[in-house]
A and B are shown apart, each in its own frame.
Chain A
Amino acid sequence: MNRRQLRVVSLMTGLLITLSASVAFAQSQARVRQDRTTIWRIDAPVVAATVPAGTLLDVVGQAGSFYKVLIPEQFGGHGEVGRIAAGSFVFVPGSGDRTISHDGTAEAAPTAPADSRPASHSSPPRRHDEPAMAVRGFGQAGLMRPSAQESFRTVADQVYGFAFGGGVQLRVRNGLFVEGSFDQFRKTGERVFVYDDTVFPLGITDTITVRPLLFTAGYRFGSTRPVVPYVGGGLGVFHLTERTPFSEAGESIDETHTGYRMSGGVEFRGGQWLGTAFEAAYTHVPDALGNGGVSEIVDERDLGGFEFRVKLLFGR
Chain B
Amino acid sequence: MSQSLRTLVIGALSVATVTLILLSSHLKAQEPQAEQFPALHTERAQAYVRALTDRLPYVPGDILVKFRADADMAARTRALSVMRTGANAPEAVYVGEALLTHSSAEPNPEVLATILRRQPEVEWAQPNYINRLHSIPNDPGFSEQWNFELMNLPKAWDINPGGNANVLVAVVDTGANTTSGMTSFRLWTGSRFENVSVPFVANPEVPAARVMQGRDFTILGGPVRDMQGHGTHVAGTVLQETNNGVGQAGIAYNARLLPLKACLGFWDVQIVLGQLGIPGFLSDGWCDTAAVAGAIRYAADSGAQVINVSIGGPSPSPIYLDALRYAVQRGTFVTIAAGNSAEEGNPVEYPAAYAAQIDGVMAVGAVGPSGKRALYSNTGTHVEIAAPGGSDREGQLAMVYQTAVCKSDYDPLRTLRPRFDRYCNVPSAGTSMAAPHVAGVAALLYSQGITNPAAIEAAIKRFAKDLGAPGRDNEYGFGLIDARATLLGLGVVR
> Hey, which bits of chain A sit against chain B, CB under 8 A?
148, 151-152, 154-156, 187, 189, 191-196, 198, 200-204, 206, 208, 240, 242, 244, 246, 248, 251, 253, 289, 291-295, 297
CB neighbours (8 Å) of A192 from chain B are: 489-490
Among candidates A198, A200, A206, A291, residue contacting B491 with C-beta atoms closer than 8 Å? A206
CB neighbours (8 Å) of A203 from chain B are: 448-449
Whether a CB of chain A sits under 8 angstroms from the CB of B452 is yes
Whether a CB of chain A sits under 8 angstroms from the CB of B291 is no
Report, nearest first, the 8 A-B pairs whose CB atoms are least far apart: A195-B455, A292-B494, A191-B489, A206-B491, A202-B489, A200-B450, A242-B493, A253-B493
Instruction: Assess whether A196 is in contact with B454, with CB atoms less than 8 Å apart.
Output: yes
Which residues of B in the span 53-109 have a Cβ within 8 Å of any Cβ on A? none
Among candidates A193, A293, A294, residue contacting B455 with C-beta atoms closer than 8 Å? A193
**Complex CA–CA separation, A280 to B491 (angstroms):** 28
Given the known inter-chain contacts A148-B492, A155-B492, A292-B494, please indicate yes or no for A202 contacting B455, CB distance below 8 A: no
Instruction: Assess whether B459 is in contact with A293, with CB atoms less than 8 Å apart.
Output: no
CB distance from B136 to the nearest CB of A (A): 34
CB distance from B158 to the nearest CB of A (A): 5
Instruction: Assess whether B488 is in contact with A251, with CB atoms less than 8 Å apart.
Output: yes
User: Which residue of the partner chain A has the closest CB to B455?
Assistant: A195
CB neighbours (8 Å) of B454 from chain A are: 195-196
Instruction: Assess whether B490 is in contact with A293, with CB atoms less than 8 Å apart.
Output: yes
Instruction: Assess whether A193 is in contact with B490, with CB atoms less than 8 Å apart.
Output: yes
Instruction: Assess whether A294 is in contact with B492, with CB atoms less than 8 Å apart.
Output: yes
Q: Could you write out 12 A-B pairs with CB less than 8 Å apart?
A: A191-B488, A193-B458, A193-B459, A193-B490, A195-B452, A200-B450, A202-B448, A204-B159, A206-B492, A251-B494, A293-B494, A294-B492
> Hey, which bits of chain B sit against chain A, CB under 8 A?
155, 158-159, 448-452, 454-455, 458-459, 487-494
Given the known inter-chain contacts A200-B450, A202-B449, please indicate yes or no for A191 contacting B493, CB distance below 8 A: no
User: Which residue of the partner chain A has the closest CB to B451?
Assistant: A200
Among candidates A155, A204, A294, residue contacting B488 with C-beta atoms closer than 8 Å? A204
CB neighbours (8 Å) of B452 from chain A are: 195, 198, 200
Instruction: Assess whether B455 is in contact with A244, with CB atoms less than 8 Å apart.
Output: no
Instruction: Assess whether A240 is in contact with B448, with CB atoms less than 8 Å apart.
Output: no
Instruction: Assess whether A248 is in contact with B155, with CB atoms less than 8 Å apart.
Output: yes
**Beyond known contacts A242-B492, A246-B158, A248-B155: 5 more, CB 8 A cutoff:** A152-B492, A193-B455, A193-B489, A196-B455, A200-B449
Instruction: Assess whether A242 is in contact with B455, with CB atoms less than 8 Å apart.
Output: no
Instruction: Assess whether B491 is in contact with A244, with CB atoms less than 8 Å apart.
Output: yes
CB neighbours (8 Å) of B458 from chain A are: 193, 195
**Complex CA–CA separation, A208 to B487 (angstroms):** 19
CB distance from B328 to the nearest CB of A (A): 14
Instruction: Assess whether B494 is in contact with A253, with CB atoms less than 8 Å apart.
Output: yes
CB neighbours (8 Å) of B159 from chain A are: 204, 246
**Complex CA–CA separation, A2 to B132 (angstroms):** 58
CB neighbours (8 Å) of A289 from chain B are: 492-493
Instruction: Assess whether A195 is in contact with B493, with CB atoms less than 8 Å apart.
Output: no
CB distance from B167 to the nearest CB of A (A): 14
Instruction: Assess whether B449 is in contact with A293, with CB atoms less than 8 Å apart.
Output: no
Instruction: Assess whether A293 is in contact with B492, with CB atoms less than 8 Å apart.
Output: yes
> Most chain-B Cβ atoms within 10 A of its Cβ — which of A189, A194, A195, A208?
A195
Among candidates A202, A204, A208, A246, residue contacting B493 with C-beta atoms closer than 8 Å? A208
**Complex CA–CA separation, A32 to B155 (angstroms):** 78
**Complex CA–CA separation, A253 to B490 (angstroms):** 12
Among candidates B455, B488, B490, residue contacting A297 with C-beta atoms closer than 8 Å? B490
**Complex CA–CA separation, A190 to B158 (angstroms):** 16
Instruction: Assess whether B488 is in contact with A244, with CB atoms less than 8 Å apart.
Output: yes
Instruction: Assess whether B491 is in contact with A293, with CB atoms less than 8 Å apart.
Output: yes
CB neighbours (8 Å) of B449 from chain A are: 200-203
CB distance from A247 to the nearest CB of B (A): 9
User: Which residue of the partner chain A has the closest CB to B462?
Assistant: A193
CB neighbours (8 Å) of B450 from chain A are: 193, 195, 200, 202
Given the known inter-chain contacts A195-B454, A195-B459, please indicate yes or no for A246 contacting B492, CB distance below 8 A: no
Given the known inter-chain contacts A246-B159, A248-B155, please indicate yes or no for A202 contacting B494, CB distance below 8 A: no
Among candidates B455, B487, B493, residue contacting A240 with C-beta atoms closer than 8 Å? B493
Instruction: Assess whether B455 is in contact with A292, with CB atoms less than 8 Å apart.
Output: no
Given the known inter-chain contacts A201-B449, A202-B448, please indicate yes or no for A246 contacting B490, CB distance below 8 A: no
